[in-house]
Structure 1
Amino acid sequence: MSSLSKSRFQKGLQCPKALWLAVHRRDLAAPVTESQQWIFDQGSEVGRLAQQLFPGGVEVTEDHRHPDEALATTRRLLAEGATALYEPAFSYGGAFARVDILAAAGDGRWDLYEVKSSGSVKDVHITDAAVQAYAVEGSGLPLRTINIVHIDTSYVYDGGGYDPGALFTIADVTDRARAAMASVPGDLARLGAMLEGPEPQVRIGSQCSSPYTCDFVGYCHAFLPVEYPVTALPRISDPVLHALLDAGVTSIRDVPDSFPGLTTAQREVVAVVKTGQPYVDAAGLARDLARLRWPVHHLDFETVNPALPLWQGTRPYQQIPFQYSIHTHHEGGDVEHSEYLHAGPGDPRRELAEHLLADVGETGSVTHYTRYERTQLEALATALPGLAPAIRRVIERLVDLAPLISANTRHPATVGRTSIKQVLPAWCPTLSYADMPIADGQTASVRYLRIVTGRADAHEVAATVRDLTEYCGLDTYAMVCLLEEMRRQAGV
C-alpha cells in the first residue's frame, strides 16, 4: 500500500470507511462546493503569508501529483544546506507529509510549523502535526519543537500589506504532539490493513459531520428515506440513532411513541410528523404578535468574515455587513421594499448604516430572524460611534420572529428545525430558496468576496449583484409571508 498523506490519515481517524471510499471509490464523493473551495484557497493564501515568518526559505514546488519528485527535491535541498524549507516532503512508515514550514534550530535539530487558518489550536491540529512529525523524524531529521501557526483574531489590519508577526500566533504543541505520536504507527498499520480489504461497514453517526463534514454523506445515508429520516431528529445522539436503526426504524414516522432515550423536543417532532398536521398555540401566538408596532420593517443582513481582513480597522474573521434588505410591512398588508448593496471598494459599514437608518425611520418594529441581525447592529454601533445613538434606537425596536414562531407552532415539514430555510417552505409553500443562483449565506459571502478581491470579471459582477439582490430580498419577503401566515393562524 502507498503511504497515507496527512489529510488522508486525518480522514481515516474520523472514519475508516471515508478513507476507504476516498482511495477506492472517489467517484462517490460529493462535489466540492463553491464555499469549500473558497476555504481551501483562503487556507493556501494564509499558508503563503506565514512563510514570511521565516524569510529566505526554499519552496519544494512539486505538487501532490509528483510525490517522488517532491521527496527528491527535499533531500537535495537538505544536502545543499537549506535552513528553512516550505512544503518539504517526507515519507516514513506508511506516512507521507508535506510540512508547511521546517526551520533549522541551529543545533542539528529542526522546528516544524503547521499553518492553520483558524483562530485557535484545535484537537484535530495535534494529530495532524503528530503524523507529520512522525514522518520527519522517521526520515532522519530530529525535531526540537512542533508548532501550530494560527491566526490571531485580535490583530487589527492597518491597511496595505499584512504584518505576519502580528497576524499570526505560534503555539508550541510539542508535548501534545509527541504524546499523539505514540499511536501513529498503530493507526497507520490499522488503516493500511483496512485499505487492503473490502469496504468496511461503519454505521452512520456523529463522525459523518465532526470534526468535518464527510464527502460521502450522501452515499452512506442513501438507505434512509428522503422524507423524514431519523437523522433529522434534532440533536439525535449516536446511541439513540443506532438503537433506532437496530430496531429497523429509518423514518421518523415509524419511531415508537415510547422509544427510550428521546428528548422532549424529539418526541414533539415525532408526534407532529405522525399526525401530519401543524400545531399552533393561537392564544400564545396572538399574545406575542401583539408586541409588534406597525409598520413592521423586516430586516436581513448579508456579511463577509474573511480570515484575512480587507478593510483598515477590521480583524480576521470579523463579520462585516455589506448588504441589507428591508420589507416595510403595513398592518393592512401593503409592502414596500428597500435595499442596499455596497458597490465600492472601501469599508461598507458607514454607508450601509446611514442608508439603513434612513430606510427604517423612527417608528415601527424592526423584525429579524434569529439573533444575527441584532449582533450586526450592536457591532455597527461599536464601530461607528457617531451613529451609535441612532443605531441603538433601532436595536430597541427589534423583534425576533424565530422564537416567536418556534414557541407557538410545530410543523411536520420543519422536523424541529428553526432555520428560515426550513420554516418558510413549511408555512408558505409557494416560496422556496430552491433553484436560486444564490440560495445560502455562505455562497452569498463568497460571491461578494470574489467581487471585492478583484477575482470577478464585469459579467460575473453584474450577475452576482443581481443574484445577491434576489437572495437577500427573499429573506425579508419570507418574513412578510411568515408574519401574515402567523397572523392568520392566530386569528388576528
Structure 2
Amino acid sequence: MRVLTKSRFKLGLECPNKLYYTKKKEYADTKVSDTFLEALAEGGFQVEELARMHYPNGVLIEGNDWDYQLLWEQTQELLKQENVIIYEAAFLIDGLFIRTDVLVKHGGNIELIEVKAKSFTPDDEYLFIGKRGGMVSSWKPYLFDIAFQKYVIQFCFPQWNIQSYIMMADKSKKASINGLNQLFRISSKGENRTGILKKVSTIEETGNPVLGRKNVTQIVADIEANKYKYHDGLTFIKSINQFKTFYQKDEYANWKTSFSACKSCEFKSEDDELKSGFKECFNKQHNWTENDFTKPNIFDVYFFTKGNKLFEDGIYFKDKLTEDNVGLKVEAEKLTTSHRQWLQIEKEVNNDSTLYVDLEGLKDEMNKWVFPLHFIDFETSAVALPFNKGLKPYEQIAFQFSHHIYHENGKIEHANEYINNKAGVFPNFEFLRALKETLEKDNGTIFRYSNHENTILNAIYAQLPDSEEDDREELIKFIHSISHSKSDSAVKWKGNRDMVDLWDVEKRFYYNPLTKGSNSIKAILPASLSSSKFLQEKYSKPLNQINVSSKNFSENHVWLEIENDIVKSPYKMLPSLFDDWSEEQIENTLSEIEDIANGGAALTAYGKLQYTDMEQSEIDELTSALLKYCELDTLAMVMIYEHFKEITD
C-alpha cells in the first residue's frame, strides 16, 4: 500500500521530486533514515517517554509498523471509548496515513500532542512566527507536519474539535532530581518498539517538570487557510493531494529545480554503482549532458548567498560568473567572503591549483604567537534531559578533549586527553579541571578550530556559579584567562591567553583550491597534505622517526597514504564509530538536530555510551575510536600550522 505518510509529506515539502527517488535501492541516498541513530544523538526517545508520563494510563499501539490497516483498526477500537489517551494512534484515509505521539480524547474534544526533541523558552513570543509576521524557517517543517496530522485526523472525524500542541523541553526549567537522563534507557529488552527501559512508573518520580507545551492551534488554522505557504503557488490542500498522487503513481513530479534545495540534495551521488536523482533532475529539466556534470557548477561556491538569484537567472556554471555578479570586494588586511568566492571560481575555471596566501598578513599574525603552541579540540553534546539537579534541558555537555603541543624545537607532543564514557556522570567540571591542569603549565598560545570551544567555555562558565564545586572561583578565573565573553553575556571579558581561532586565520590569509571552498578541518587537512612537500616528506615516515608522540596510535603509524596519486584523507583511516553507517551519512542524517553543528558521529557515540546497555568490551572499543578521532583533530591543527610555517619561512 503506497500511502502518503508524515515523513513522506515532509520530504515532499523539501522537494516533491524526492518522493520519486526515496527508498529506491537503485538511487544513492546520503541520509540514512534510522530512528535508533537519531534517538541516540538527540535523546528524543527520552523526551517522548517523559512526555507520555504527563498523560498517564494511555494505551500504546505498537508492532506491525507497516500494516497501516491493522493499526488504524486498533485505533478505531480504542476511540469508541468516550475518554481515552493513545500513544502512537494511527489514522488512515484516502491514501493518507499518520501516527500521533500523544492523542487525548474527551468526548469530541481532542488534544493532538506532537513531542519534539527541541527546546523553547516560554516567554519567547516570536518562537514560531517572527516579528514581521513570517513563519520562522527552522520551525516550518514541524508546523506543517502538525498541520498535516490535524488534516488527516479531521478528515477521519469531521465532527471533532481538535487542539494542536508541541511538547518539548522548557529551557527555563531546572531538574529537581539527579540522574533524570538515566531514567529512560535503550535496551534490546525494551518494553516497546523503540526498546525503552523505564526506571520510573509515575511522573512524580521525575521531579519538577522540565517539559512544556505550546498551543499551535491557530498557526495550524493559518496554514490550512494558506496564510503561510511552504512553496509559492502551492496551497496546503493542493500540496497534500499532489504529493499523494505523485507517490501513489510513482510519478516524477518535475518540480522546478532551485539553488538551495538542489545544493543540499541527498540524492546527489558520486557512486558509480547507483543512480543519481540530482543528475536525472538536471538532465530532464535542463538537458544537462554527462559533460555538463563534470563542469564546475555554482553549488559548492563558499557561503554563496547570491546563488539563488543567479540560479533563477539561468547561471549554473562557474565560467558564467563575473566579478560583478559575485559582488567582489577586496580588502587589504584580510580575505573577504566575496574575494574567497572569486578565488574559488577563478581557480577552478582556469584549472589552477596553486595556493593563494596573503604572506605579509599571515606572517604578521604568526609573529604574535608564543611558544610552546597548544592545540585543543572539544567533543560535546547537548542532552535533552539534564544529568543533575539544578541543570536545565539542552545544557552543553563537554565530554572529551585532545591537546597537542608544538614545541619551539619542532617536537610534537600529544600532551593530554580527557574522555568521560561513564553513563550518568555530568562531566563538565572534571573536564574543565583536566583542561586547566594541562594548559596552565606555561603561557604559550592556545589554538582552537572555529568558535565552538569558546562557546562551550562560556556555557560551562554559566553553569559554575550555581554549582557546589569548591574550586568554582578558580575555574571561572581559568575560563576568563583563555576565552572571551559572548556578545550577549552580562559579564564582559577577554582573556590574556584568549584562544586563537586557526579557522579564522585560515579564512583571512589562505585559500587552497583543493578544498573546493570548504573551511572544514576535514577539507583543509587533506588539501594541506596534498599541497605541502614538507608535510608529505615528514608524514610519510612512522611517528617514532619524526618526533611526534601519540596516546592512541602505535609508534610505527604512518599518516600519509597516497592512492592513485591522490593523498588519502587521514580521517578516512580512522576506525568507524558505527558499523552500519559512514561518518558522512551520520552527519547528513543529523544535520537538522538542535545544536549539532558538526561532530555528529562523536555525539551519537556519546549517546550510545550514555543510554544503551553495552558490554565492557564494546564500551572500550567505542572509547578507543573516540580518542583516535579527537587526537586526529588536534594533530590536523598542528599539521596546518606546520604548513603555514613552511609557507612563511
Q: 1:220 and 2:298 equivalent?
A: no
Residue equivalent to 1:28: 27
Q: 1:178 and 2:221 equivalent?
A: yes
On the 8 A contact 2:10/2:145 being kept in 1, the answer is yes
CA distance in 1, matches of 2:210, 2:162: 24
Residue equivalent to 2:429: 350
- Give the counterpart letter for 1:100 in structure 2: D
Residue equivalent to 1:412: 513
Counterpart pick for 1:365 among 430, 441, 445: 445
Higher relative contact order (CA 8 A, sep 6+): 2
Residue equivalent to 2:10: 10
Residue equivalent to 2:300: 232
CA distance in 2, matches of 1:87, 1:451: 28
Residue equivalent to 1:402: 503
On the 8 A contact 1:151/1:167 being kept in 2, the answer is yes
CA distance in 2, matches of 1:86, 1:8: 21
Residue equivalent to 2:573: 435
On the 8 A contact 2:165/2:217 being kept in 1, the answer is yes
| Residue 143 of structure 1, CA deviation | 2.3
Give the 5 Å matches for 1:12-91.
12-22=12-22, 25=24, 27-30=26-29, 33=32, 37-40=36-39, 42-91=43-92
The two structures have a TM-score, normalised by structure 1, of 0.89
1:208/1:315 CA distance change after superposition, 3 Å: farther
| Residue 40 of structure 1, CA deviation | 4.2
How much identity, in percent, do the aligned residues show? 26
Residue equivalent to 1:145: 163
CA distance in 2, matches of 1:66, 1:29: 27
Residue equivalent to 1:128: 145
| Residue 281 of structure 1, CA deviation | 1.0
Residue equivalent to 2:134: none
Counterpart pick for 2:393 among 307, 316, 330: 316
1:255/1:284 CA distance change after superposition, 3 Å: same
CA distance in 2, matches of 1:311, 1:76: 42
Residue equivalent to 1:393: 481
| Residue 261 of structure 1, CA deviation | 4.8
Residue equivalent to 2:586: none
On the 8 A contact 1:153/1:316 being kept in 2, the answer is yes
SS in 1 for 2:119: coil
Unaligned runs of 5+ in 1: none
1:420/1:34 CA distance change after superposition, 3 Å: farther
Unaligned runs of 5+ in 2: 121-127, 129-138, 182-205, 226-234, 270-275, 280-289, 329-337, 465-471, 484-494, 531-559, 561-568, 578-582, 584-597
Choose 340-349 or 294-303, whichever is displaced more: 340-349
- Give the counterpart letter for 2:419 in structure 1: L
SS in 2 for 1:200: coil
CA distance in 2, matches of 1:80, 1:228: 62
What do you get for the CA RMSD once the two structures are aligned? 2.7
| Residue 6 of structure 1, CA deviation | 1.6
On the 8 A contact 2:68/2:92 being kept in 1, the answer is no
Choose 61-70 or 309-318, whichever is displaced more: 309-318
**Can you list the C-alpha shifts for 1:209-239, whole angstroms capped at 9, x where unaligned?**
7xxx654243234567579553111233233
On the 8 A contact 1:204/1:221 being kept in 2, the answer is no
**Can you list the C-alpha shifts for 1:113-158, whole angstroms capped at 9, x where unaligned?**
1111122451222211111111111212512411111221333333
SS in 2 for 1:116: strand
Residue equivalent to 2:523: 422
Choose 451-460 or 367-376, whichever is displaced more: 451-460
On the 8 A contact 1:300/1:325 being kept in 2, the answer is yes
Counterpart pick for 1:283 among 360, 381, 384: 360
Instruction: Give aligned pairs, total.
Output: 481
The two structures have a TM-score, normalised by structure 2, of 0.69
Residue equivalent to 2:419: 341
Choose 341-350 or 467-476, whichever is displaced more: 341-350
| Residue 399 of structure 1, CA deviation | 1.2
| Residue 27 of structure 1, CA deviation | 4.4
More helix by share: 1
On the 8 A contact 2:421/2:606 being kept in 1, the answer is no
| Residue 171 of structure 1, CA deviation | 0.9
1:339/1:2 CA distance change after superposition, 3 Å: closer
1:234/1:348 CA distance change after superposition, 3 Å: same
| Residue 310 of structure 1, CA deviation | 3.2
| Residue 44 of structure 1, CA deviation | 3.6
